[in-house]
Amino acid sequence: MIKKILIANRGEIAVRIVRACAEMGIRSVAIYSEADRHALHVKRADEAHSIGEDPLAGYLNPRALVNLAVETGCDALHPGYGFLSENAELAEICAERGIKFIGPSAEVIRRMGDKTEARRSMMAAGVPCTPGTEGNVADLAEALREAERIGYPVMLKATSGGGGRGIRRCNSRDELEQAFPRVISEATKAFGSAEVFLEKCIVNPKHIEAQILADSFGNTVHLFERDCSIQRRNQKLIEIAPSPQLTPEQRAYIGDLAVRAAKAVGYENAGTVEFLLADGEVYFMEMNTRVQVEHTITEEITGIDIVREQIRIASGLELSVKQEDIIHRGFALQFRINAEDPKNNFLPSFGKITRYYAPGGPGVRTDTAIYTGYTIPPYYDSMCLKLIVWALTWEEALDRGLRALDDMRVQGVRTTAPYYQEILRNPEFRSGQFNTSFVESHPELTQYSIKRNPSHLAIAIATAIAAHAGL
């Protein structure tokens, strides 16, 4: 078994990995920039080491991170999500230095990170893909020709893109002409590559993804699906497991497709295969070669600790479960509580947390790295915590979500919590029939009023007194 892990990440995912290590008797090593010196993952890990003054450079230097893993006596490195989690070079350097990379091989990361290569691999495996270009487009002229062949609207995508960046919907020739240089620029800055391709835009689809686990013994399983249709500008806001929109037959079909996709590329460790569902047709979109932000809800409905399984797989052990043993029970929702102001076009709201109270009770979980007195730095993603709720039925899960969001207190910054309460009250959402157009189709949901009650006022006064007293 692995004895000591360097966590090449920060924030709530680093805290999540620290917890898994503690339960497995594995020592954890955290890293931090100067901006993260007082972060919770630093306080919770067995060791913590500075990676420099710059808020980003240290987290993005693969060789320096592996060197630190070697220097601190680690035998493995967990990349979390974001930063270098899908960086083939990091996996390669780990292999060179004898450090186990808790993820798939560099070859698989590179192959699935190149979206045109991923499409080719999936088509060869018989996994349905959206119509699009065979490979990258060389220039705007070729893009315009291919768009005419595919038919508008089209999606212009960065080949190495991810996280909602490097992607534009183009409804016409004029829009494609305007978007092309912007996507090239964004892709070059964000991913170091100017390569782009085109896909047919599937209008108002459902965004469904399947969680898979695969070990080095040829065992591959799926842990059912998550519905990620509630998103804004290709950024997920609320995730649901399992999808309330699928039939049992669709669920089984998508799970089988995900396993086929993973086996086709020789996948090992945890991964996610993302699909679009429209008019009864399923299309492969991409594969994420890492643990997902929303892995939590899959854990809630299956009882399987995905991070633990990641570490076991990297240790050379077989999966602890077989497909026939995996069942799902109830419904789980995850709310990405972002430090943003929905009433002001989701403007980031970084600053000091003057009061934080985590909700509790049956079926409620919070994954976070914030605490009262913590200052959210402006250099990273705006997500400050993940609120997860579980219940036996869809209606109970919605009601539990409303109660947990109301219980939670995050003061000092504005968050998306009250906006999510509006979504949970919306009849269309409660019906379980929605797609990726939901957020843009309901702009009125941002026009909520924040209700104050005496207990809220008392908390606010106590917070102001404590701040004035320097407590």
Give the catalytic positions in this structure: 290
State how far Cα 352 lies from the chain centre. 24
Q: Look up tokens 């987290």; give the residue.
A: 59
Task: Tell whether the torsion through CA atoms of 302, 227, 293 and 76 is positive or negative.
Answer: positive
Backbone angles phi, psi at 204, to 5 degrees: 50, 55
Contact 236, 294 (CB under 8 A): yes
CA 230 to chain CA centroid, Å, is 13
Residue 345 — left, alpha, or beta (φ > 0 → left; ψ -120 to 50 → alpha)? left
Q: Is the peptide bond before 153 cis (omega within 30 degrees of 0)?
A: yes
CA-to-CA dists, residue 337 to 37, 39, 332, 413, 417, angstroms = 22, 18, 16, 11, 6
Name which of 266, 444, 403, 239 is nearest 336 in CA terms: 239
Token digits of residue 374 = 């913590």
Residue type, 13: I
* Inter-residue long-range contacts of 419-422, CB under 8 Å, 24+ positions, other chains counted: 419/342, 419/445, 419/446, 419/448, 420/237, 420/238, 420/335, 420/337, 421/448, 422/446, 422/448
3-state secondary structure 152-207: CCEEEEEEEEECCEEEEEECCHHHHHHHHHHHHHHHHHHHCCCCEEEEECCCCCEE
What letter represents residue 98's amino acid?
G
Residue 125: count of CB within 10 angstroms of its CB? 15
Assess contact for 109 and 86: CB atoms under 8 A: yes
Smallest Cα–Cα separation from 257: which of 292, 237, 288, 282?
282
Q: Tokens at residue 15, please? A: 């805290």
Q: What is the SS3 assignment for 111-164? A: HHHCHHHHHHHHHHCCCCECCECCCCCCCHHHHHHHHHHHCCCEEEEEEEEECC
Distance CA 200, CA 414 (A): 37
Triad 395, 328, 420: Cα angle to 5°:
40
